[in-house]
Chains A and B, each alone.
Chain A
Amino acid sequence: MLVAGVDIGNNTTEVALAESNGRDIYFLASGMAATTGIKGTPANVTGVKLALLDAAKKASVRIEDIKLIRLNEATPVIADVAMEAITETIITESTMIGHNPSTPGGEGLGVGKTVPIFKLGEVAKGNRVIVIIPGNIDYEAAARSINESMDRGIDVQGAIVQKDDGVLISNRIKRIIPIVDEVELIEKVPLDMLAAVEVAEPGHTIKTLSNPFGIATVFGLNPEETKNVVPMARALIGNRSAVVIRTPAGDVQERRIPAGKLTLIGRNGKVMVDIEEGAASIASAVEQVWPLEDAEGTPGTNVGGLLARVKETMAEVTGQDPSSIHIQDILAADTLVQQKVKGGLAEEFFSEDAVALAAMVKSSRLPMEKVAREIENELGIRVEIAGVEANMAALGALTTPGASTPLAILDLGGGSSDAAFIANAGQREIKTVHLAGAGEMVNILIATELGISEKAIAEDIKCYPLAKVESLFSIRMEDGTVRFFEEPLDPKVFARVVILKHGSLIPIPIEASLEKVRMVRREAKRKVFVNNALRALSKVAPAGNVRMIDFVVLVGGSALDFEVPEMISEELAGYGVVVGRANIRGTDGPRNAVATGLVLSGREWP
């Protein structure tokens, strides 16, 4: 008899196809398809059908030959992620230009009143000025007019240019002055105000304008005013060029946004925690009240929205009342968000502090019967709903060559991280835990920290190693090895950081070094996967002690990641735990554990 185990997961639907005579089971093939709709809804049927077709094709059988489908009794877990920025930088009355053009002109520090270039003729002798050059003025004309003014005895101290003309102008004027170019919104630069322009020599960074006392010296600020320019100075650190303009009401503020509070209700009490306090405080608050029974966020904030959204989705899926759905886990991670500065003149971006949150709800039972009936109608195959998902995953994981009980399973998926601990194979009750935060959260951390808006790119950064294109014929991989190509590479990827995806090179659309992107990627994985692995294992381990676990088998899509298993392995080595990626039935790697378990659990025990 042909039996198919079907596991509908959050992201993928997996099938294990086997020939069974009741006692002996021969696996024929595995199949996989993307899950259609939310797990546990009738929309899943299409995905199930595709996965079955995939497996049937590989086994050279027809779908109609399948006599029995064993379906997972899924624990519905829905997780979602949100960001909450907790600082915000606002420039009022445009006092600062903090962008970093690749080729500013000249060098040094210049201080003077801002004057548009076509009004240079009206400036009296001896005045110190900073010239503003809009894009419709040609660089040669600009240089000529600066030279004439210098000859007339006007002390031209520096220039702010709209086009990328800094070096061209600098090469044509008599004295070396600092010139900042590529200032997009030059029309917003206030006129007749005292301004300072600084350009560092190549390979150096600015010294004066990135130092609050430097700014104070330039503008003659009192101690109170000096305090106010600290965020400005801090924002300019590391730049090769900068402009600071002093306007009467001008200011740069770093504001802390009221980010809302989390109310955590657990079996051991109730705690309120400010999102502002960061991930560590939130994590310890969750632990303090563990097991979590519900959570609420301040309405009108991103946290409040996140928790409400998760509850609503679950209510929709299970057909329950949203008020009867409770949040069961929250994972927080500190991060930085690249945000455009409000009131900036040159599209400046600042890194603002933020907290990313993942929340998870679990309801006792999914209406899988509905899905089962739907599949029976659609395909005309008998469908059985088999045992608890964790038991099935355990049975499947045990088909990994070399694995035996006692065994812990770590299932790292897209939405949640789950763990189970089995003392022996015949055990009925397996200790399991579902935690918020997995692959999706890593994507969000990568996207926000690098300032990437396309989801697909963030996903690719997570999944594939990086390389830097070093010449039109070679790339240097992130491990330092160099790879050469016969055919020239696309000039568009030249000198860029790229993602190596199945032999093709996808340029990362931001200016960041390979090291930076790699660090952000690995940190995101550490904050989510390594952190959750420890959290999950300590909750299922005997006596809550991770050291009591001998073997951990990684299953699920994120176990396929090229570095996560190593990172977890490294972390757990300190606890004396052996960690490995599952190899289901010796062939399927970390995938197909539940589907395989479903087929195996149908065996009639003699």
Chain B
Amino acid sequence: MRTYEEIKPAVFIYTVNPDLVFPVIKGIQEGLEEEGVPCEVKVASGDAASLAIQAARESRLGIGIGIGADRTCILQHRRLQMNTPVYCIQPDIGSRERYRLIGSHAARLVKNLPLKEEDRGARSSGSY
């Protein structure tokens, strides 16, 4: 087990099986990358809520995302309770834009910047 100081500062993304939820992870990573905040994906067990709590508590940045087997996606902060996550995407309404948004939220919590608004970028699929 690495000591706390040895853990690289990154947002942790915990999931049961990364291959099953690959599009979700990709969206989240895009959101984090655009904001320039590092992340690490790890395999753990539990539902989305408990994965998110574990991820947040083990991340040096105090921010974690849990992805359940059903693609529920939860953003957590180290000091928040399990029933009050920062942000949550239910499995049936997830879109690539929203997964990217949750990644951007995670990054902006780290950078101490206001979170982006939900409907921003909705227009961006306009044609040329």
Q: Which residues of A contact B (CB under 8 A)?
A: 102-103, 116, 132, 134-136, 139, 162-168, 171, 184, 186-187, 470-473, 488, 491-492, 494-496, 511
Chain B contacts for A168, CB-based, 8 A: 30, 33-34
Flag if B36 contacts A494 (CB, 8 Å): no
Closest 8 CB pairs of A and B: A134-B128, A135-B124, A163-B124, A495-B114, A167-B34, A491-B86, A496-B114, A135-B125
A171–B35 alpha-carbon span in the complex (Å): 12
Flag if B35 contacts A494 (CB, 8 Å): no
Chain A contacts for B20, CB-based, 8 A: none
21 sampled A-B residue pairs with Cβ under 8 A: A116-B128, A134-B127, A134-B128, A135-B123, A162-B124, A163-B121, A163-B124, A164-B121, A164-B124, A166-B34, A167-B33, A168-B30, A168-B33, A171-B33, A186-B126, A187-B126, A471-B112, A491-B86, A491-B109, A495-B108, A511-B114
Chain B contacts for A511, CB-based, 8 A: 114
Chain A contacts for B127, CB-based, 8 A: 134, 136, 187
A470–B111 alpha-carbon span in the complex (Å): 11
A472 with B128, Cβ < 8 A, contacts A166-B34, A168-B34, A488-B80 known: no
B22 at the interface (CB under 8 A from A): no
Flag if A472 contacts B114 (CB, 8 Å): no
Extra contacts, 9 of them, besides A187-B126, A494-B115, A511-B114 (Cβ < 8 A), are A162-B126, A163-B121, A164-B34, A167-B34, A184-B123, A186-B126, A186-B128, A472-B80, A495-B112
A118 → B minimal CB distance (Å): 8
**Nearest chain-B residue to A488 (Cβ)?**
B80
B84 at the interface (CB under 8 A from A): yes
Flag if A102 contacts B30 (CB, 8 Å): no
B42 at the interface (CB under 8 A from A): no
Chain A contacts for B126, CB-based, 8 A: 134-136, 162, 186-187
Q: Contacting A473 at CB < 8 Å: which of B79, B86, B105, B113?
A: B79
Q: Contacting B109 at CB < 8 Å: which of A166, A186, A494?
A: A494
A76 → B minimal CB distance (Å): 46
Q: What 0/1 readout, one digit per residue, does chain B (2-22) give for beta carbons within 8 Å of chain A? A: 000000000000000000000
B77 at the interface (CB under 8 A from A): yes
Q: Contacting A494 at CB < 8 Å: which of B30, B84, B114?
A: B114
Chain B contacts for A102, CB-based, 8 A: 113
A488–B86 alpha-carbon span in the complex (Å): 9
A245–B77 alpha-carbon span in the complex (Å): 44
A162–B121 alpha-carbon span in the complex (Å): 9
**Nearest chain-B residue to A492 (Cβ)?**
B115
Flag if B128 contacts A136 (CB, 8 Å): yes
From residue 45 to 67 of chain B, which have CB atoms closer than 8 A to chain A? none
Flag if B33 contacts A488 (CB, 8 Å): no
**Nearest chain-A residue to B97 (Cβ)?**
A163
**Nearest chain-A residue to B126 (Cβ)?**
A135
Flag if A103 contacts B36 (CB, 8 Å): yes
Flag if B34 contacts A165 (CB, 8 Å): yes
A173–B116 alpha-carbon span in the complex (Å): 26
Q: Among the interface residues B34, B125, B127, which one has the most CB atoms of the partner chain A within 10 A? A: B34
B101 → A minimal CB distance (Å): 10
A103 with B109, Cβ < 8 A, contacts A186-B128, A472-B80, A492-B115 known: no
**Nearest chain-A residue to B81 (Cβ)?**
A488
Chain B contacts for A162, CB-based, 8 A: 124, 126
Flag if B112 contacts A470 (CB, 8 Å): yes
A496–B105 alpha-carbon span in the complex (Å): 14
A99 → B minimal CB distance (Å): 13
Chain B contacts for A171, CB-based, 8 A: 33
A135–B34 alpha-carbon span in the complex (Å): 15
Chain B contacts for A492, CB-based, 8 A: 115
Chain A contacts for B77, CB-based, 8 A: 472, 488
Chain A contacts for B87, CB-based, 8 A: 491
Chain B contacts for A187, CB-based, 8 A: 126-128
B107 → A minimal CB distance (Å): 9
Flag if B124 contacts A167 (CB, 8 Å): no
Q: Among the interface residues B33, B121, B128, which one has the most CB atoms of the partner chain A within 10 A? A: B128
Chain B contacts for A472, CB-based, 8 A: 77, 79-80, 86, 109
Chain A contacts for B81, CB-based, 8 A: 488
Flag if B121 contacts A167 (CB, 8 Å): no
A491 with B105, Cβ < 8 A, contacts A470-B112, A472-B86 known: yes
**Nearest chain-B residue to A189 (Cβ)?**
B128
Chain B contacts for A491, CB-based, 8 A: 86-87, 105, 109, 115
A165–B34 alpha-carbon span in the complex (Å): 7
B73 → A minimal CB distance (Å): 15
A492–B87 alpha-carbon span in the complex (Å): 10
A41 → B minimal CB distance (Å): 43
A168–B32 alpha-carbon span in the complex (Å): 10
